[in-house]
Amino acid sequence: MKSFSERCYEVLRKVPTGRVTTYGEIARALGSKGFRAVGMAMNRNPYAPEVPCHRVVGVGGKIGGFASGVDEKIRMLKSEGVDVVEGKVVNFDKVFMEL
């Protein structure tokens, strides 16, 4: 029996480079509305490079937060081709990955 967090990692690891998703989508994909619980799992993130937790943003493409710092998260996204301005993802609708 896998914990809720592992479930998040499973779906999140499906997100390819240059693409982002939201906490709500992940929770919805798991059949739950615990957006916050998803964030907790991301913060722990035991599967560092395997699970691209930095590709998870809030609704509307808002970056929200990051364990290593929001700046680091934005930097990684930009490095993957996702443009971020003012802590928000540009072209969010285009980079958004629906689960």
Torsion angle (degrees, nearest 10) of CA 85, 88, 94, 99: 150
Nearest distance from C-beta of residue 26 to DNA, angstroms: 9
Give the count of beta carbons closer than 10 Å to the beta carbon of residue 26: 26
Mode of pairing for the β-strands spanning 84-85 and 56-57: unpaired
- Examine residue 47 and tell whether it contacts DNA (CB under 7 A): no
* Stretch of residues binding DNA (CB under 7 A), selected from 20-28, 75-83, 89-97: 20-28
Task: Identify the residue whose tokens are 């710092």.
Answer: 69
SS (H, E, C) 50-74: CCCHHHEECHHHECCCCCCCHHHHH
- Examine residue 56 and tell whether it contacts DNA (CB under 7 A): yes
The answer to whether 8 is a known catalytic residue is: no
| Binding residues among 57-86 for DNA as defined by CB under 7 A | 58-59, 62, 64-67, 73
Task: Tell me the one-letter amino acid at 99.
Answer: L
Q: Which of 10, 19, 35, 97 binds DNA (CB under 7 A)?
A: 35
Q: Please give the positions annotated as active site.
A: 53
- Kindly list the residues in this chain that would bind DNA in the complex (CB under 7 A): 3-5, 22-24, 32-37, 39-45, 53-54, 56, 58-59, 62, 64-67, 73
